[in-house]
Amino acid sequence: MTSTKLTICFDLDGTLVNSAPDLFAALDHALLSKGYDKNSLSAEAKIRPIIGHGAKAMIKRALSLKNVQLNDIEIDELWHILIDHYTIHSADQSHPYEGTIKALEELHNEGHILAVCTNKTIDLTIPLLEKLDLTKHFKAITGADSFPFKKPDARHLFETINQAGGEAKAAVMIGDSKTDILTASNASIPSVGVTWGYTDVPMPDLNPTHLINHFDELTNVIEKITR
């Protein structure tokens, strides 16, 4: 047992859950509905790093790879089609990363408070977590529309910690992107960067406080932080 109990806040997409397959399926559905070809694997590889930037960013990147430019109204129409499809199919292929469940259970058993702090909207976040049977692990779940601010604003992280019943002086942020590491830095909270997620900058270059390559490494890192 560790002496200090932390509030451990996780990002969602690219950190806890590999949601890319269902996001790409929804993107392809939207493109096909307007007569565009679905994305190739090479195109998906170029879109994957910006998944954390939101659905509209994915749409714009996909269209740019096809040398297509649309106006804002047309982008919004594609966005609605994508979101409608994704809402129904968000967990068809998505799954927790290897070692996720084991790590969450170990951290809970050690007395730590677990929370989700994501820039995904709550109406998409909660159903995804419920479908994957992950909701039960978390004392608080907050998204992009939970407050008037979102990551990398430190207040998003602070409010998530508060809702979980924790304190910022004993907390850590775990994520896969620049946004997550910057959020932790803005909050003066340690960060754990994961190397398996969606980022356009290699995680080591973002200088997280700690770096892990697999969830099996997380409990040891948390023990180091508590010391």
Residue 1 lies in a domain: no
Residue 2 lies in a domain: no
Residue 196 is predicted with a pLDDT of 97
Residue 113 is predicted with a pLDDT of 98
Residue 119 lies in a domain: yes
User: Which member of 11, 13, 22, 180 is catalytic?
Assistant: 11
Residue 128 is predicted with a pLDDT of 98
Residues 105 and 71 grouped into a single domain: no
Residue 3 is predicted with a pLDDT of 61
Residues 104 and 64 grouped into a single domain: no
**Range of the structural domain that residue 195 is part of:** 7-18+95-226
Q: What is the mean pLDDT of each run of 10 residues along the chain (227 residues)?
A: 80 97 97 94 93 93 95 96 97 98 97 97 97 98 97 98 97 97 98 96 97 97 93
Residues 54 and 106 grouped into a single domain: no
- pTM, two decimals, is 0.94
* Token pair of 57 as six digits: 């960013």
Is residue 11 part of the annotated active site? The answer reads yes
Residue 117 is predicted with a pLDDT of 98
Residue 38 lies in a domain: yes
Question: Reduced to 3 states, what is the DSSP secondary structure of residue 7?
Answer: strand
Residues 202 and 105 grouped into a single domain: yes
Residue 183 lies in a domain: yes
* Token pair of 40 as six digits: 């190739």
Residue 158 Ramachandran class (φ > 0 left, ψ -120 to 50 alpha, else beta): alpha
